[in-house]
Amino acid sequence: MKNTFKVLTAVFLLAVVFGACNSSGEQQKQKKQDKLATEISTSTANKQTFSLDFQIGDKLPNDLVCMVNDAYMAKPQIPVPVNGKTYYGCCEMCVGTLNNEESARMATDPQTGERVDKTEAFIVLLDANGRVGYFNSEANYTAYTKKS
């Protein structure tokens, strides 16, 4: 009877350990998949030419911009509500970044060097690769274009 109890206890402990390892492995696998999805979406955004709806210099709607990759994505992104404002990300990793890192929610106005909240910015398509710029106002963007 004691040997049976020892065997059952050993089997139970192995199952618990294996289950914990498997769960950890699944979490690591999911993290790798999320990272790969971000790399793919960033790579794709950087290689596309966006001529369907917007031209270089056009103001962009917030929901078409991944605010982590600072890229025009040409389709609606995942809304991420934080502190009463709605940011947008292209994948679950970006959602987590926007929720947890204030720096991902802020940008620097290229004209003035001032910090700007990405939800309040005048967002402009800067180039054919989908790169966007965040300006405090349309006037700052206009001054920036005259300077460049």
Enter the pTM of the model.
0.66
Residue 11 pLDDT greater than 50, yes or no = no
Looking at every residue in the chain, the average pLDDT score rounds to: 79
| pLDDT at 31 (0 to 100) | 54
Least trusted range by pLDDT, from 4-8, 99-103, 144-148: 4-8
State how beta strands 78-82 and 71-72 pair: unpaired
